[in-house]
């Protein structure tokens, strides 16, 4: 079974970018929640928009997790199709 090295390289890059973005999203989400707990007068905390932002970020994170899983499957199979 011959592995396509270009495909595996691209898969690693995709996984690296997706994981980095996931860490970035969750880190910033944690910072926003901490700021809202300390200072309730921030505009983002008062308007009631924070739950919508959290929901959108979690949907993006879920999409990135799906991308990582699909990429891992492609890497394990070694080829597309």
Global pTM reads 0.65
The half-sphere exposure of 53 on its side-chain side, counting CA atoms within 13 A, is 13
Ranked by mean pLDDT, which of 10-14, 43-47, 57-61, 77-81 comes out on top? 57-61
Residue entry with tokens 């495909």: 7
Percent of the chain exceeding pLDDT 70 equals: 89
Q: Which of 1-10, 11-20, 58-67 has the lowest mean pLDDT?
A: 1-10
* Residues in contact with 64: Cβ distance below 8 Å, sequence separation at least 6, in sequence order: 18, 21, 22, 25
Domain extent for 25:
5-77
- How many structural domains does the chain have? 1
Average pLDDT over every residue of 60-64 = 85
Average pLDDT over every residue of 9-35 = 83
- Mean pLDDT for the chain? 78
């Amino acid at each position: 079974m011959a592995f396509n090295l270009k495909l595996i390289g691209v898969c690693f890059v995709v996984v690296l970018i997706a994981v980095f973005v996931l860490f970035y999203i969750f880190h910033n989400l944690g910072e926003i929640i901490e700021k809202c707990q300390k200072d309730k007068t921030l505009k983002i905390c008062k308007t009631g928009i924070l739950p919508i932002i959290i929901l959108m970020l979690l949907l993006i994170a879920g999409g990135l997790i799906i991308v990582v899983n699909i990429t891992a499957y492609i890497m394990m199979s070694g080829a597309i199709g």
